Amino acid sequence: MSRPPEPAGSSPAPRLSVVIPLFNCLPLTRAIAAALPATLPAGLGWEAIFVDDGSTDGTREWLATLPPPFHAVLNERNLGYAAANNRGAARARGGLLALINNDLILRPGWLEPMLAAHKALGRRAGVVGNVQRNARTGALDHAGIRFDHQGKPAHERGRVAAWERALRPLRRVPAVTGACVLVSAALWRELGGFDEGYVNGCEDVDFCLRAAAAGRVNAVALRSRVGHLISASPGRKQRDEANTHRLALRWREPLVREGARAWARHYLASHLAEPRDFPDPALARQAVLYLLGLRGAPAGAYAGMQVALEVELERWRSMGNL
């Protein structure tokens, strides 16, 4: 069970509450606890809330040794990523929430660009993410989340140009990964936090789509960079099919809109070897103009996305109870 909340007025409310869900992996948790004080901006009032989700490797005993501003919430059993974050956020006192994984490699300067991006968006601010590199290989792993030609969420892994980082450091995107995000506590409460119907996947994308539906702007702070030991927690990917199925059922129309560009790109690439074989040459021309930014998405791209999603939904139906 969680520790009882501190009495009202016992200390000033911090500006930032860092929520970190845990499941085993104690060496990573020790490392993130050491990195936080060393990498947060000087003078920033903060607290860190570790939410242990049933660890059995000594994590709970170690958490008991931490002094403020570290705090611990101990789940009575493994409740999953969404519930762990929700419990930590419920304990938080800060006006801003930073949700981070314990398998991040943090260096000084990671938070300031995210704070700046959130401030720049003002009342429109939704969920702010950042650039993440695979800590093992150095490869770019995340510069936002978009949707592929089947309507499935996919990390943007294309190179972030130096000019974009310098001149346009805030990139609008449909969604960002929950591995490292900044969001106002007020918006978190307004939207009800993560949907616990998702099991260790897609809860972050769903939350971003709810923020966008509420008129907020999700973005990547391109000057914020962290390393990520991707999917270090055991069992992280076991429910991917069920989670994407749930996402598609809830957000079909937004997925069609957001996936149109990927569908147009896939349509052209699949026939590029022999352009004379395009089933619809007019659609091919429209797709080219669309990808060049010279026209809006062609109706055929939306229709193609509808078909692609229906194929996936039928596949999921054939799988039975996910």
Average model confidence (pLDDT) for the chain? 93
pLDDT digits (tens, 9 = 90+) for 131-181: 999 999 999 999 999 999 999 999 999 999 999 999 999 999 999 999 999
Which helix (H) or strand (E) segment is 194 a member of? none
CA 253 to chain centre: 20
DSSP 104-143: EE--TTSSHHHHHHHHHHGGGEEEEEEEEEETTT--EEES
Mean pLDDT score, 261-276: 88
Mean pLDDT score, 58-76: 97
Distance CA 278, CA 269 (A): 11
Please give the structure tokens belonging to residue 70: 């570290």
Q: Distance of CA 310 to CAs 160, 245, 299, 304, 317, Å?
A: 33, 11, 17, 10, 10
Contacts of 3 (CB under 8 A, 6+ apart): 71, 72, 73, 74
- pLDDT given for residue 6 in this prediction: 45
- pLDDT given for residue 274 in this prediction: 76
pLDDT digits (tens, 9 = 90+) for 177-227: 999 999 999 999 999 999 999 999 999 999 999 999 999 999 999 999 999
- pLDDT given for residue 4 in this prediction: 40
- pLDDT given for residue 9 in this prediction: 41
- pLDDT given for residue 238 in this prediction: 74
- pLDDT given for residue 5 in this prediction: 43
Query: pLDDT at residue 2 above 50?
Result: no
- pLDDT given for residue 205 in this prediction: 98
Contact criterion met (CB below 8 Å) for 81 and 200 = yes
- pLDDT given for residue 54 in this prediction: 94
Query: pLDDT at residue 1 above 90?
Result: no
Count CB atoms within 10 A of the CB of residue 91: 19
- pLDDT given for residue 273 in this prediction: 77
pLDDT digits (tens, 9 = 90+) for 88-127: 999 999 999 999 999 999 999 999 999 999 999 999 999 9
Percentage of the residues of the chain whose pLDDT score is greater than 70: 94
Domains in the chain and their CATH numbers? Answer: 16-239 (3.90.550.10), 251-318 (no CATH)
Q: Distance of CA 186 to CAs 18, 172, 173, 314, 319, Å?
A: 15, 21, 21, 38, 39
pLDDT digits (tens, 9 = 90+) for 7-56: 334 578 899 999 999 999 999 999 999 999 999 999 999 999 999 999 99
Q: What is the pTM of this model?
A: 0.92
